[in-house]
Structure 1
């Protein structure tokens, strides 16, 4: 059993150190020292190798672990951006050959250089990736991401609903997005405790400097407010040493607080040397010795973000206020009408029950439509009919009924099971549109269909099936499609 799996099973607090694999001998030597030490403040310390977060010249997680001798405790990431099922299975086979059995499955952020007006880049999203990984390696430790740091009902509600899907798909633990809003950390724990399949959660943390905050403000899904930036800037103006000491104190304090909240551990980013690790260890020890309760911690946490003459720090976006449990949004009249009309059309033509649907089904299952000119013509007809209505890109396996007739192909990443973590106040990570999953949430809420967004696991679209008509497959007998 891996050290991480054992620690989670025994409910021992654990520290995961995120490593962005790079071709740097100096960085490699420093990481070897950290990995060999193997603990932080008495807690197990395990390496996690990130995937596709840096420059294109960076190593893969598999190569990064190999450069350190494949520590059995390694947690490898798998980012689904611009990836297919075959890519995941190839990485898993390589991991099995080296005795690595821990995987954090992520949909991934925006592919560098990709713009919405370019050709679509499709992602192997985390929900089907979890199902694939669980099917092929049922005993592996599988993790997934959760971003509770959302301040609109649609995006926050949709995040938690997708979290339920990830639990159903086989997630053993969650790793939260990097953030500093303690109220949302507590909210996420409240959500998890209400689940039937309650799983441990790790919280992502980082020592935040003014320079790092400037970079993180542009990272999708991470909230760095202007009041936070102003405080960090004032600390830097006092002196570099003062700002460094304050940032270290806050990191140690946050880790201690997350343990008090009930988190299973932390996912530490931005620690690159043994000296940094030892400084953090000493700061944690100082905080733990004087901490009495979570109430005491909350007071200290807010005090650590104060400075004479500086404005009060707020971790919430200026126009954001939603908290879990608040419910005040609904679909617009246009969204409700559109859903009703498309649902009615679906019932008439694709329910497989009425005479019209049965007649269409008989016609669509004729062999003539499966190959050649007839198949191309049917594909063109379906695209011509559906693209103006729903934005269809003829994925070959229509999922509209499961997505409340909001086509997942209109998401720049092609996500069908729910939103990624990169939204901001309902806006897509690409910033040119509202997130389609926020629209879907409003429709589902108004149509009493929210359980669909939490319980229906939508499989990935295989690359070879795209750009063909979905109608013949839709009407095939269910026993012939059960394996899809």
Structure 2
């Protein structure tokens, strides 16, 4: 006897299915994408496992105040969408204990299909609620009759039924009514109700099998089906799959011919564990409470491993401060080196009672140094407070990054900060992920998703994880600036909960960033500004030893060198002895840090500041003390003092002729006006011929698509594909500098290859790092224009910045050195995520 297989995987009683449906209905764009992916996979898996119906149940949402009936109907309708789109003609089994929802679902599916295709199944109707059957007078469908109630007493429950003959009486009553309405016998299913074996204290398992046998012996009901909800039998027991298979075997022996089951894992033709089969036969043959001790013995023979407790997280002042609207957040940034680890620990001890959260950087120079993981954990233990652990992409791939996050999480750390990282010339730079995909990978764990599939993690979510991202507004070329803001928006879309600027000194650029965030719908996202400790020695080092992405303005350097100061002040400095001069320079540095911090927090609305370059807790506390003093005056006075020069002119802290996104204001800062445009006359342009060729050969409607498909769709080891791959390599190497990654993204990146030969040395797929210099030249290859600068120039000229907003997932390493043409045609490459756009935050 063949089994009618009803796939149960879209039943929202299953926690992961319920969660994915909730994501799709209520989540942000990334949650909706993740929910959709999981639900689509469930449909595909059930179809591949030869399901005859796909069970869809949304009853759990009816009692959810946030979703209710309207939301449940939207989810059910979306399940119909997925079945019609991906189900290859397999109909749904509309499953609900609510007759009204069954009627709504039947009518809706009939409307969607216009009565075409295979009729659906409903599960289920009870003897006291047969109203849904009346729809059979309008269109065909099959129905499951629940044998839970007596035909003569609708109040009787499952365990109240005295004997198996009651199943027959109820089945016969439903059968007669269904036949009267117009159902054929083969359109009628009966569910005798499967109860958990582990809770059988009254012998209902035996009664179920005997009831099936009696129904099958009624010749007048020949042709009906007996359907079981299989997963109920093993509820609470170990080795559930083996238990379900054995139960199904015995049920089919007694006449069951349909089951709601996990079709992908259970095949009625597979072998069954003889010990479990013997156990179920003994339960079936026993009397009364005989089943219970048998099942207790079984469960004790397969004890479950205890769930390992997670270490409690350290107290999290940082997140608490971010959420408190009246609290300013202060970070003290520590850069580990081989000779300062003990100094960091001493600082942590001294900072226990201060408002600072420590941020531990991840070898920012790219040189070997102690990593932030162990130092961050020790700082947490010393301070009894969560630090922020920086993670950079330069040294490990996606698996290594996940391993670090998981290790720190289970040690009680929760706060992470994702950066691209400086290029390492002393070893092999990895950059498997970029800062956007690293944020997404970390936030996916918080959501309970695997990266990059976005499917549910078997281990569940990592509650409490927070990840932030960096942004550098200190770019003075239009495409480079748009690259930073575009990448920031992407980070926000994939889960960045806060942002910290890279180091810079131009208040107008700090203001520009905040204005842009407001315009792009990110005004509520916490933003902290980096404020760096400068004295003449530090200024000299930073000015003469290139630090990626950091430029000391000429006027600022002259001010710290005591050149751009009022004449009287310069004279006073020249008269100081060495001790007084050092003290003066220190107080000057502290005050300038406090001035910038005051401008950012009180003036521009920043949530807090990240104090960098400080190596003594007393210095950090001095900055806070001066900030407190400045609160007694208007913050614009801090702007005046910060910009002050030699008394004749103010400092110029931007780049000469530099680009600002907003127009100048009357107060020396910027005005919240329309976006400005740069001079785009010399911008790099997209090759028209590349666009035309791609459209002709890769668009399924293109004239050359059939030829390309023929070229690459042969046997993997065949000569045709071998020659096609060689031809591809020759063409793309010459025109694009192709490295045959097998996962080509040029169509999304203005037809410019991102691989290092001609593209980005750091393999950045979602926007530029912050390492380009003030002229837009690459951090790694300073003779070369930044790859992303060129891409964005072309997008601005083309008016197609929207194409760059998609989230590019990391490349598939298994496709390396294969034909990207073949992989594209066969849809083996990952598709970018479209999470919307920043609305008014788009360039003109």
TM range (shorter): 0.7 to 0.9
Structural RMSD (CA): 2.7
The range that moved more, 99-108 or 278-287, is 278-287
Secondary structure, aligned partner of 1:368: coil
Find the counterpart in structure 1 of residue 353 from structure 2: 37
CA shift at 1:319, angstroms? 4.8
Choose which of 636, 640, 651 in structure 2 pairs with 1:295. 636
Q: Which residue of 1 aligns with 2:319?
A: 5
**Alignment of structure 1 residues 54-69 onto 2, 5 Å:** 54=365, 56-69=367-380
Q: Distance in 2 between matches of 1:361 and 1:432?
A: 40
Cα separation, 2, equivalents of 1:128 and 1:339: 28
1:388 to 717, 734, 737: 734
CA distance in 2, matches of 1:248, 1:376: 66
Q: Matched residues in 1 for 2:681 and 2:734: separation?
A: 21
- 8 Å Cα contact 1:8/1:264 also seen in 2: yes
- Does residue 79 (structure 1) correspond to residue 427 (structure 2)? The answer is no
Q: Distance in 1 between matches of 2:402 and 2:719?
A: 34
2:613 to 270, 277, 285: 270
Contact 1:350/1:357 (<8 A) preserved: yes
Q: Which residue of 2 aligns with 1:405?
A: 751
- For residue 183 of structure 1, the aligned residue among 485, 508, 515 is 508
CA distance in 1, matches of 2:332, 2:405: 21
Separation in structure 1 between the aligned mates of residue 687 and residue 350 of structure 2, nearest angstrom: 55
User: Judging changes above 3 Å, is the alpha-carbon distance between structure 1 residues 37 and 463 closer, same or farther for their aligned structure 2 residues?
Assistant: farther
Paired residues in the alignment total: 464
Q: State the distance in 2 between where 1:270 and 1:120 align.
A: 26
TM-score (norm 1): 0.88
Which digits, 9 at most, give the CA deviation of each residue in 1:94-140, with x for residues without a partner? 112111111111111222458xxxx8854521111122112122252
The separation in 1 between residues aligned to 2:485 and 2:367, in whole angstroms, is 32
Cα distance change, pair 209–373 in 1 and its aligned pair in 2 (3 A): farther
After superposition, the Cα gap between the structure-2 partners of 1:323 and 1:376, relative to the gap in structure 1 and judged at 3 Å, is: same
Separation in 2 of the partners of 1:432 and 1:276? Answer: 40
Deviation at 1:18, TM superposition (A): 1.0
Measure the CA separation in 1 of the matches of 2:422 and 2:351. Answer: 27
CA distance in 2, matches of 1:206, 1:295: 21
Residue 256 of structure 1: aligned partner: 598
- Please tell me whether the aligned partners of residues 126 and 144 of structure 1 are also in contact (alpha carbons under 8 angstroms): yes
Q: State the shift of 1:408 in Å.
A: 1.1
Note if contact 1:383-1:392 (Cα within 8 Å) is conserved in structure 2.
yes
Secondary structure at the counterpart of residue 143 of structure 1: strand
Distance 2:753 2:366 in 1: 32
1:475 aligns with 825
Distance across 2 between alignment mates of 1:475 and 1:354: 13
Partner of 2:422 in structure 1?
Answer: 109
**Residues 1:120 and 1:366: Cα distance change in structure 2 (over 3 Å):** farther
Q: Distance in 1 between matches of 2:396 and 2:342?
A: 31
- Identify the match of residue 243 of structure 1 among 585, 596, 605: 585
Higher Rg of the two aligned structures: 2
Name the TM-score, length of structure 2 as normaliser: 0.52
The secondary structure found in structure 1 opposite 2:562 is helix
Q: Secondary structure at the match of 1:37?
A: coil
2:548: which partner in 1?
220
When residues 475 and 109 of structure 1 are mapped into structure 2, their CA distance, relative to the original with a 3 A threshold, is: same
Whether 2:576 is the aligned partner of 1:233: answer: no
Q: Which has the higher contact order (CA 8 A, sep 6+)?
A: 1
Report the Cα offset of residue 323 of structure 1. Answer: 3.7
C-alpha distance after superposition, 1:248-300 (max 9, x if no partner): 11111111221111101111112222222232232222222x322x3233212
Aligned to 2:335: 20
Q: Equivalents in 2 of 1:101, 1:373: separation in Å?
A: 53
Judge conservation of contact 1:330–1:443 (CA < 8 Å) in 2: no
2:535–2:586 Cα contact (<8 Å) kept: yes
In the TM superposition, 1:43-54 aligns within 5 A as 45-54=356-365
Q: 1:175 to 1:481 in 2, by over 3 A?
A: closer
The yes-or-no answer on 1:328 pairing with 2:675 is no
The CA deviation string for residues 28-63 of structure 1, in whole angstroms up to 9 with x for no partner, is: 442222441231xxxxx1111100225744211101
Q: Is the 8 A contact 1:339 1:443 kept in 2?
A: no
Paired position in structure 2 for 1:42 = none
- Cα distance in structure 1, aligned partners of 2:689 and 2:393: 34
1:362-373 correspondence runs (5 A):
362-368=710-716
2:352 is paired with a residue of what secondary structure?
helix
Structure 1: distance between partners of 2:721 and 2:488: 38
Q: Secondary structure at the match of 1:229?
A: helix
Whole-angstrom distance in 2 between the partners of 1:55 and 1:348: 44
